[in-house]
Structure formats: C-alpha cells, structure tokens
Chains A and B, each alone.
Chain A
Amino acid sequence: MTDAPLLDVRDLRVAYATRGGEAVVIPSVSFQLNAGEALGLVGESGCGKSTIALSIVRYLGRAGRIIGGSIRFEGRELTSLDETGLRAIRGRRIAMVYQDPMASLNPVMTVGRQLMEAPMTHEGVSASAARARALAMLAEVKLADPAAVMERYPHQLSGGQQQRIVIAMALITGPALLIMDEPTTGLDVTVEAAVLDLVRELRSRHHSAILFISHNLGSVARVCDRVAVMYRGEIVEDGPVRSIFASPRHPYTRGLLDCLPTLGSDKHQAPLVPIAGQVESSLTRPPGCGFAGRCAHAEIGRCTSYPIASATVRGEPEHHVACVRAEELRQWTRRCGTDVAHEFVATTETMVAIHHLTKIYEPRRRRFRGTRAAVRAVSDVDLTAARGRTLAIVGESGCGKSTIAKVLSGLEVATAGRVTLDGVEVGALAIDARGPALKRKLQMVFQNPDSTLNPSHTVGYAIGRALRRLQGRAPGDVAGGVARLLEVVKLSPAMAARMPRHLSGGEKQRAAIARALAGDPAVIVADEPVSALDVSVQAAIVNLLTEIQAARGATLVFISHDLAVVRYLADTVAVMYLGTVAEVGPVERVFAPPYHPYTEALLSAVPVPDPDHVGARILLEGRVSGAGEIPRGCPFATRCPRRVGAVCDETPPPVQHFGDHRLACHIPGAELARLQTALVEPRSIGR
C-alpha cells in the first residue's frame, strides 16, 4: 500500500440548480479512502450521501455541479477530467452498485451478455475469455449453476440474485473502488445478510476499496472499517467503526443509534427515542452547526454562530467529530426513552380470529396460452389477536402476510376458512358487503407513504372525508375533528391545508394514521407502515402507534419484515413462510429457543449495529419457492439448514404445542432447544 490514499476528497462543494437559483447542498466534505478499505457513509435521506457518490463518478446530471474542492483518485484529479478520461475510469477502475438491481440490468439482454460487455469494451478481451471471466465471477458471487444463469434474462431471477449479478458486473473488471449506494435496502433480511457477507468476502479477495452508502447502521457495522456520519451535506463525525458504535461523540450519531429498536427491547420497558424534528433542508444553512435545530445539547451562541470545524477526539487519533460540545458530553450509553412506558389494557377477549384461512388466487383463464397454476397465497392459517393487543406477522416477501391483511380488511375475500372480527364472520365479506359498523371497526395503515394519500387532495380533505364517511359527519362539521386527529398524530392543524407532496414521508404516514383513526377503529391493520421510512422517523411512528393503541385500547395487526420492530411492539408474533405459519406465540417465547429453524435463520440475519456482534449466522441457501409450487412436505424444507431428511420433503411437519407457543417442525422442540443458542438476550439493552 502506498502512502497516498486511493481516493482523496478535499473540500468538495456541490450545488444544484433549483428554481430559486443555485443551492449549495454539499458545503464542504473531505475524506480519504485507502486501497482495500471500506468506508460507510450513513445518515438520513436527503443528507447528501448519494450526491457524494455521484460526484465521484461525475454523474450529477444537468442540475448538479461541483463548485469547488478536489477529488483525487489514483493520483488523478476527477473534477477536471474530460468525458473520455471519465469513461476510462467509470466501470473499469470505479464501479457502482445501486439500490434497485432491476434498474441496473438491461431487461432485453441475457445476464451473460451484460457481464461480458465490461471486459470486452474496457479491456478488449475476446468473447470467449470474457465468457470464462463471467462464469468465474458468477461462481464467486455464489450463484448456483453459473452456466444456466448466463442464459437467463434479469426478470427470470429473484431480487437477491439480481443484486448478486450487479455486484458481479461491478467486480468483473477488478475495480480499485466499488461504490455501493444502499445495495441491500430493497432485499429481504435473509437475502440482505447473505449479500452483505458476500460483499465482505469479495472485498478481502479483490482488495477493492468500498464506499458503502446506507441508512442502516446494522449493515454498515457488518461491512465497513470506518464510518462517516453525514448530516445536511457535511460529515459530522467519522472514525473507525468500533469507536463510532462504542463511543459516538456527535449528538446526531447518538440519535441515530438511539432510535434503532434492537432485538432486545420492547414497548413495555420504554418508548424508542426518535431524533427530534425532521431532516432540515440542505438548501438553507444556518451559520453554525447544521444539527443545532434538532440537538438537545445545542447552546445558543456557541453552536449557532460560526461554522463548526471537525476536531480529533482526545485519545482517539482517527476519530473526528464536528461538535463544539463533544468533549463536554457524557459518555454515551444507549438511551431507552425517558418517558414511562404506556399502560396497556390487557384482555384475553378475542378480537380477531382466523381459522383455517386459505386464499387461492385463481389465474385468469386465457385462451390459447394455457392456464397457469393457481397461487396459494395463504394456506390453512390459524391466528388470533386479543382486544388491545398487538399481533405481528413477520416473514419474507411473498410469504402471504399482506394477503392476510387484505382478507381482514375486505380488499380480498377468503377462499376457505373463517375470519371473525369481534365475533362477526367477515372472511367471505368483501368491503362492499360490510356494513358501516364493520367498516368503522377495522381500518388500515398502508406501506407506501407516497401512495397512501391522494396527491390531488389536501391532508384535511383526506381526513375529513374519512370522518364524513365513517362517522356520518356533515361536510361543514369536520374541521374540528380533523384538527383533533392531526393533534393525535402530532401534526400541526395547519397541515390540513397542505398537499401531500409538501409533506415528508413521516408526516404523510402520520396523516394516513389519522385518516385510519377517523372511525375510531377497534382494529388497526398496519401493513409495513414504517418500512419505507428513515430509522429516526420509524421510531417516531412506532411510538405513535403504540401510544395510540394504549390510549384507545385498539387491537393492532402489524405486518412487517423487520424483526427488531416486531420484537419491540408485538405481544404475539406469527412467523410465516410460504403461506403457512411456521411459528406463533407470545413475543418473548418466539424470540427464545426452541425456535422454528426459519425463525432462527431470520433472527440470525438481522443486522446488529455493533461491529463486535458475533452472532451464529445461519445463511439460507436456495431461493424461496414460488407460491405456485407448494411442496408436499414442509414448505421450508428446500432451504432449511436443519433439514433432517426425506421426511421433511414428504410429510407436512407436525404442529408442536408448548402452551400458547406452537411451531411446525419435524424436529422435536426439546431437540431444537438443545441445538440452538439464544440469539436474543432477553431484556438486554445496549452493552
């Protein structure tokens, strides 16, 4: 390794042209990356992480412009390089992996052709040599049967496989720097864990430096050597990954760590601690610390008057922080909220009961094309939720959890089985067939903040309309109700006049919750309500949901793929796999051995924001079989790391009951408990 860093960014300034003139989004950023090193860039959305990545490869587009500073890569200045020079570097010396693999792959070319393209154009190697390289690379990213994969088109592969292909494409030219922009954000937790492990492994083999951009502190901890935390276009803290996670100095870094639910915490202890306020615009900038407006430790004057320079933390030469009060702040320990945990109304009265629910999507008959097989989205599911409690349904995408939400809400009807809502059979009732009282009783909170509110209507109209429909209010009589509901979800009443596009993701989701509350529902079905939000906002929304639940005694059916969130707020957890319930029970029993092997794999895959965390990682091989091809035996048998033999493929697993905890597995519970180690320390907070 030479002395000069591989990538040396100094005083980089970037501006975007906006309608109101040029706005500086990166006022000044400097960092170095040595050969073979992995640097994580973290921060909430809108803090300039991606802008930096795009500046390095000069892909800022027409609106963006580098207005100052230098980016030296392998001794060459990138800010002044012409297109020809850039082309020689992009893809060859610097490769990029983006969030959405489908957007990086050409849908009309086979994977093999796309992989061979880079060596052939950049290095001029022959087609056969490129083919050999592509095959070797596919084997390296652990795709089974590389020769067959080469002939496939991107849409024939799963999301995880696609992302592996993109990584293979990026590494095939042996780049010195790999920029990964949220590479695992859209993936299921088990797939994410496998991809992160792959990145780590490939890194040590290829000696590529990595600039890893993520909002997920857990995945950063797993992959990176150093971390830089960004806020409002500035690096507020950077240092070795261990120092950052063990003793974060900047209040913002501490806030990011505090708002993460960990596998050990739950709502009965204390609410999560979200960061106050929301990400402020990078377009306007106060004279002092950019974070001062949200910081609990900010002092008027010292923090707000002049720019804050980055200083080395005493005793840690590689740890820098841009906070004037860094030395005065107390040593960090994970905060768990100062508020008293909510009192929850505990009852045993059943609110939602699902018996032998099966939902089959019949394919549409098409003449000439033959019929496709029916899709069994949910088969023979039994679940109950008591009044005032939270039932969480977890599982990877395609496991049928959203289908259950749809059947509950009447957007779909059950094919077979019974679903009762407060004693009333609703499984066969589509929403149109439900009376006003039933409609009022169950309302939904949806996943996507951008599509949950109609972009053409104001927030006030959306909530007011729900009040009119569900409570029969007159059009002139809703203003007070709208204001009250906005207050419940902690939005200002003035929000009623806003259009959804002027709201942040978290605000939109709050407004959607207010809309769902309009009928004062007894059951709230929340389908991945926080998955699309920043961690800091996630914490606030999760708190809001638990608070509302406690205040109203509502039953919450919470659908999620995030086990940490589920651990935090659920009373009962159901783990689903391929339309069946693998394991269900009280949260503390499900999150302790004996686990169903699938639960065990899910838990071990959760990224933990602690670089020293050595969990026994169980990586799932194979892919989720499509819902169209339900296996005869155990649905999980094809990927199960604890498969015992042919019996798993042949016969459906017996359901073993341990009180109110049950799991479906051929291995006896006692045997499972003996084999497994606890993956979640009960009630452990921080370290």
Chain B
Amino acid sequence: MSTPIAAGTLSASSPAASRARLVRRWRRRIALLGESTPATVGIAIILAWVVLAMLAPLIAPYAPNANDVLALAHTTPSRAHWLGTDHLGRDILSRILWGARPVLVIAPLAVLGAAALGSLLGLAAGYYGRWIDLVITRACDIVLSFPVIILYMIILARFGSSAWNIIGVLTLTKAPIIARIVRGMTLDLREREYVAAAKMRGESPLYIMLVEILPNARGPLVVDMCLRTGYNVIIIGALGFLGIGLPPPDPDWGGMVKDTYGMMMVWPHMALFPCAAISSLVVGFNLLAVGLRELGLRD
C-alpha cells in the first residue's frame, strides 16, 4: 500500500511515560511564560509577596500587634522601624507582611470558588439553552445589578465578618461574571464536531460539559481568573477600609488604611505603605493576566 505510516517519535503510552510527558509539558509551559515580559514581572511580584507572607513570622521585625510606645514620638520611617509605625506605635512593615497572609489566601480561594460555581452555571446555560439559560442568565443579571459594596455590607453585617464569609460573598458576586464568559464560549464550543462525536457515542451531558467543553474554555478563563484575583485584592482592601473586613486587631491592609487615613496630612506614610502593598499585588495579577492573554493569542 502506498500510504505511509507516519513516523512517531514518542514511545507507546505507559504510566511512567505519560508522567514524564506531563512534566515536560509543564516545563514547556513555564518556559513559555518566561517569554512574555509582563507575565514574568507579574509572576515575580506575586511570588515575592507569597514568599514574604510565608516568611512573615521569621522576617517581620516586630509582632504585628506590638505597640512600641517609645516610637510614638517619631512615627516616621527610621532605622528601628523601616516603614515607620502607625498611630498606636505598631510597626508598619511587620503589619504589611502579616497582612499579606489573609489577602493571599482569601483572594485566590474566592476566585476558585467563583470559577467553579460560575463555570457550572455558564456551562449549563450555554449547553442546555432554553429556559435553563433564561433562568441562569437572569439570576446572574440580578446579582450583577446590585451595587456590590452595599451587597457586601448587607451580607457581612448580617452574617458577621470572617475570612470564610468574605470568601463566600466574593464567590457569590463574582460567579455571575465567570458564568457569562463561560456561557459565551460554551455557545460556540457546543457546535464543534467533537461534541457531536461525543453525543454519538452516548456521553452524558455532564461529561460533555466538563470533559469536552470546559477544557477548551480554559484559556480565557484562566486569564479572567488572574484579573479577578487582582480585583478581589482591591475588594478585600475596600472591605477592610469600610470596617467590615477581617476583625481587628489582626493586620489587614484595608483596615490599616482606614485606621490612619485621618492622619494623612500629618503622617502620610501610615496609609500610603499599605496602599502601595495593595496596588503592587493588584498590578502583579494584572500583568500576569496580560502576559497569559498574550501567550494565549500566540498559540
């Protein structure tokens, strides 16, 4: 027969080989990220914050809630307090380092929750269409039409402010946005021939949605999740600023700004350093999102 057998370079699949392939694939992906400057810078910023937050107990010069009464005379940055102290004499550097910990846990967890819930809703709406779509999209519209800050205040005032409640609130309010994105992509992907092929071998709708459709929506989804993590950092700050963030006295970037912004004219550093911390982390996530989008477009 004149048709050739295409030469394969990979060995037949075995568990070890497939693991090695997986490792190779991830190595390639990480190497790929290095090609995009925004992604590299973004990852560097985020990783720096993660390391600092993890090492906070070791590297923070003071306990986060320790008052240095003597420093109150000179709250501005000094050799003893690199970033100065706040109005209660607490070391701002230590509080920022400690304050990174809740943010770096809550923001990504809330995004993961929103992605999970939003993907399911979006998949169902896009795949089934008809009344299911109608119900889900309308419900999402209703959630999105509320002024979010007021929504947060109502819910957190009612259920109390804790890390889990903040995660819950962020999940609920962000899921509709993710649902919209996934729905749009599902509408397109469900018409692909591989979906028809899956139907023809009798796959369940759940399998088609989760295994055939969702993996192909991951590109834009991951980019959006990165962006949304950044937004969550802002919102967590805003909640702290409004006094409905994490309960005091543990350090919380937003709360630090709230406590000290009244003294802005006299001691601007008390509010500015926590603000800078928030911005840098947000910029980090945004840069990563930009980089991922760039790489996604190129592939």
In this assembly, does A316 line the interface, its C-beta being within 8 Å of a C-beta of chain B?
A: no
Q: Which of the residues B13, B194, B211, B218 comes within 8 Å of A453, measured between beta carbons?
A: B194
Give the most central of A457, A491, A497: most B CB within 10 Å.
Answer: A497
Query: Are A493 and B4 also in contact (CB < 8 A) when A410-B200, A436-B202, A470-B201 are?
Result: no
Q: Which of the residues B10, B194, B218 comes within 8 Å of A494, measured between beta carbons?
A: B10
Could you list some 19 contacts between A and B, CB below 8 A?
Answer: A337-B2, A431-B199, A431-B200, A446-B196, A446-B197, A452-B193, A453-B194, A457-B211, A457-B215, A460-B13, A466-B201, A490-B4, A490-B5, A492-B6, A494-B8, A494-B9, A494-B12, A518-B201, A519-B201
User: Min CB distance, A452 to chain B, in Å?
Assistant: 5
Chain A residue with the shortest CB-CB distance to B217: A456
User: Min CB distance, B218 to chain A, in Å?
Assistant: 8
A483 to B196, CA, bound (A): 24
Q: Which chain B residues border A439 with CB–CB below 8 Å?
A: 200-202
In this assembly, does A507 line the interface, its C-beta being within 8 Å of a C-beta of chain B?
A: yes
Chain A residue with the shortest CB-CB distance to B11: A494
Q: Which of the residues B18, B196, B215 comes within 8 Å of A444, measured between beta carbons?
A: B196
In this assembly, does B216 line the interface, its C-beta being within 8 Å of a C-beta of chain A?
A: yes
Q: A274-B2, A512-B197 are in contact. List 6 more A-B contacts (CB 8 A).
A: A409-B200, A439-B201, A454-B215, A457-B211, A497-B13, A497-B21
Query: B201–A483 contact, CB under 8 A?
Result: no
Query: A515–B2 contact, CB under 8 A?
Result: no
A19 to B36, CA, bound (A): 12
B-contacting residues, A429-458, CB 8 Å: 431-432, 434, 436, 439, 443-444, 446-448, 451-458
Query: B216–A455 contact, CB under 8 A?
Result: yes
B-contacting residues, A332-347, CB 8 Å: 337-339
In this assembly, does A543 line the interface, its C-beta being within 8 Å of a C-beta of chain B?
A: yes
Give the most central of B2, B3, B193, B200: most A CB within 10 Å.
Answer: B200
Q: Which of the residues B1, B13, B196 comes within 8 Å of A490, measured between beta carbons?
A: B1
Query: A447–B193 contact, CB under 8 A?
Result: yes
A273 to B212, CA, bound (A): 36
A498 to B6, CA, bound (A): 12
User: Min CB distance, B106 to chain A, in Å?
Assistant: 30
In this assembly, does A496 line the interface, its C-beta being within 8 Å of a C-beta of chain B?
A: yes
A457 to B216, CA, bound (A): 10
Q: Which chain B residues border A319 with CB–CB below 8 Å?
A: none
A498 to B35, CA, bound (A): 24
Q: Which chain B residues border A462 with CB–CB below 8 Å?
A: 194
A118 to B142, CA, bound (A): 49
Query: A493–B196 contact, CB under 8 A?
Result: no
A470 to B200, CA, bound (A): 10
Q: Which chain A residues border B218 with CB–CB below 8 Å?
A: 456
In this assembly, does B63 line the interface, its C-beta being within 8 Å of a C-beta of chain A?
A: no
* Residues of chain A whose beta carbon lies under 8 Å from any beta carbon of chain B: 19, 273-274, 276-278, 337-339, 409-411, 431-432, 434, 436, 439, 443-444, 446-448, 451-458, 460, 462, 465-466, 469-470, 479, 483, 490-498, 507, 512, 515-516, 518-519, 540, 543-544
Q: Which chain B residues border A19 with CB–CB below 8 Å?
A: 35
Query: A274–B3 contact, CB under 8 A?
Result: yes
Query: Are A469 and B8 also in contact (CB < 8 A) when A276-B2, A446-B197, A497-B17 are?
Result: no
Q: Which chain A residues border B196 with CB–CB below 8 Å?
A: 409, 411, 444, 446
Q: Which chain A residues border B192 with CB–CB below 8 Å?
A: 451, 454
A-contacting residues, B177-202, CB 8 Å: 192-194, 196-197, 199-202
User: Min CB distance, B139 to chain A, in Å?
Assistant: 21
In this assembly, does B141 line the interface, its C-beta being within 8 Å of a C-beta of chain A?
A: no
User: Min CB distance, A245 to chain B, in Å?
Assistant: 22
Top 3 nearest A-B pairs (CB, nearest first) are A494-B8, A456-B215, A446-B193
Query: A444–B197 contact, CB under 8 A?
Result: yes
Query: A444–B200 contact, CB under 8 A?
Result: yes
Q: Which chain A residues border B9 with CB–CB below 8 Å?
A: 494
Chain A residue with the shortest CB-CB distance to B194: A454
Query: A456–B202 contact, CB under 8 A?
Result: no
Query: B4–A451 contact, CB under 8 A?
Result: no
Mark contacts of B22-50 with chain A using CB atoms, 8 A cut-off: 1 yes-contact digit, 0 otherwise. 00000000000001000000000000000
Chain A residue with the shortest CB-CB distance to B17: A497
A432 to B9, CA, bound (A): 39
In this assembly, does B7 line the interface, its C-beta being within 8 Å of a C-beta of chain A?
A: yes
Query: A497–B200 contact, CB under 8 A?
Result: no
A556 to B7, CA, bound (A): 29
Query: Are A492 and B8 also in contact (CB < 8 A) when A451-B193, A543-B3 are?
Result: yes
Query: B215–A496 contact, CB under 8 A?
Result: no
Q: Which chain B residues border A444 with CB–CB below 8 Å?
A: 196-197, 200
